[in-house]
């Protein structure tokens, strides 16, 4: 389903996801998509009582991890500064990369790392800078937003950013050995962001993003899944409740983007949005 939104990182575009949902090509009835919830349901059996309670975070990092009460936590490079600077951290920490799912874990395993961008993910951090369409009614707001975006992308701004980062700022492609040198502590802490080396293959990124297209977002997703896991909803009831809202959300995205004339959404004119 090529539509001009493909990229080398393998990230699925919002247009592609919306179209797939509306056309019925993305559905939780597909066993490959349901596998995410099947495995989650199985793994939840190992959680301790109280798992559904809201977690406490410090700059997106679980407080229970920082306090030494749990053994590991998912972390992107943006969380390293929090961990490294947390006062009186009661443990020595390091990072490892997620292992490959294999056939013993899931019949749908692809033998690829996920996500796998085909390049060293530790030497750069890419963030989209977007200006909301709600600002277009006020020329002064648009001008201010453009000025701010230009500042954020200047070399001087990068220097300001880099001086506060625990993860060193390096040129894309800089090797792990060049970055850590003889610093064994840094080697242990940065290892998971650079190893193992990528093989250029990838699992499509963002494939499961539509599960968050609910009123209430991830909070509502967590509530419904908890209801399913605890036996208060059947699989069919869970899927029906999810797909109803996901399809409605996808159609609303099409309608909105057609209404405001966003380029790249013309395909919505060919879809049934009623």
Predicted confidence (pLDDT) per residue in 156-177, tens digit: 877 777 777 766 777 767 888 9
Q: Select the more confidently predicted residue: 33 or 179.
A: 33
What percent of the chain has pLDDT above 70?
A: 84
| pLDDT at residue 123 in the model | 40
- Helices (H), ranges, the chain: 14-22, 31-43, 63-66, 80-85, 139-152, 155-162, 176-180, 184-194, 217-229, 235-260
Range of weakest confidence among 30-34, 40-44, 58-62: 58-62
| pLDDT at residue 60 in the model | 81
| pLDDT at residue 122 in the model | 44
Residue 109 has pLDDT above 60, yes or no: yes
The region, left, alpha or beta by phi > 0 then psi within -120 to 50, assigned to residue 214 is beta
Sign of the C-alpha dihedral computed for residues 15, 193, 121 and 154 taken in this order: positive
- The tokens describing 155, both together, are 């070399």
Q: Mean pLDDT in the chain?
A: 83
Mean pLDDT, rounded, for 37-43: 94
> How many residues make up the chain in this entry?
274
Mean pLDDT, rounded, for 76-90: 84
| pLDDT at residue 200 in the model | 58
* Residues 171, 176, 177: CA angle, nearest 5 degrees: 110
| pLDDT at residue 233 in the model | 96
pLDDT interval class at 56 (50, 70, 90): confident
Residues facing 62 on adjacent strands: 57
Q: How far, in Å, CA of 163 to CA of 165, rounded?
A: 6
Q: How far, in Å, CA of 174 to CA of 12, rounded?
A: 27
Q: Select the more confidently predicted residue: 271 or 155.
A: 271
Element (H, E) at 117: none
Domain ranges of the chain: 124-166
- The tokens describing 229, both together, are 């896991």
- The tokens describing 3, both together, are 């539509």
């Amino acid at each position: 389903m090529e539509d001009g939104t493909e990229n080398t990182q393998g990230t699925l575009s919002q247009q592609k996801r919306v179209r797939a949902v509306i056309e019925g090509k993305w559905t939780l009835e597909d066993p490959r998509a349901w596998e995410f919830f099947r495995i989650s349901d199985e793994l939840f059996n190992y959680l301790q009582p109280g798992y559904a309670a809201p977690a406490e975070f410090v700059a997106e990092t679980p407080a229970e991890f920082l306090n030494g009460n749990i053994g590991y936590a998912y972390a992107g490079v943006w969380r390293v500064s929090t961990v490294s600077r947390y006062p009186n951290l009661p443990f020595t920490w390091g990072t490892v990369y997620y292992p490959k799912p294999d056939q013993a874990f899931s019949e749908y395993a692809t033998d690829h790392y996920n996500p796998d961008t085909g390049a060293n993910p530790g030497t750069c951090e890419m963030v989209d800078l977007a200006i909301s369409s709600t600002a277009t009614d006020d020329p002064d707001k648009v001008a201010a937003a453009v000025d701010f975006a230009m500042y954020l992308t200047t070399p001087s701004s990068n220097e300001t950013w880099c001086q506060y980062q625990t993860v060193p700022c390096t040129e894309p492609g800089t090797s792990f050995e060049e970055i850590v040198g003889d610093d064994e502590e840094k080697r242990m802490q940065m290892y998971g962001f650079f190893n193992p080396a990528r093989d250029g293959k990838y699992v499509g990124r963002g494939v499961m993003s539509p599960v968050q297209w609910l009123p209430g977002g991830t909070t509502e997703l967590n509530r419904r899944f908890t209801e399913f896991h605890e036996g208060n909803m059947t699989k069919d009831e869970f899927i029906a409740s999810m797909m109803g809202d996901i399809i409605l959300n996808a159609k609303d995205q099409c309608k909105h983007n057609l209404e405001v004339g966003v380029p790249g959404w013309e395909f919505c004119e060919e879809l049934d949005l009623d």
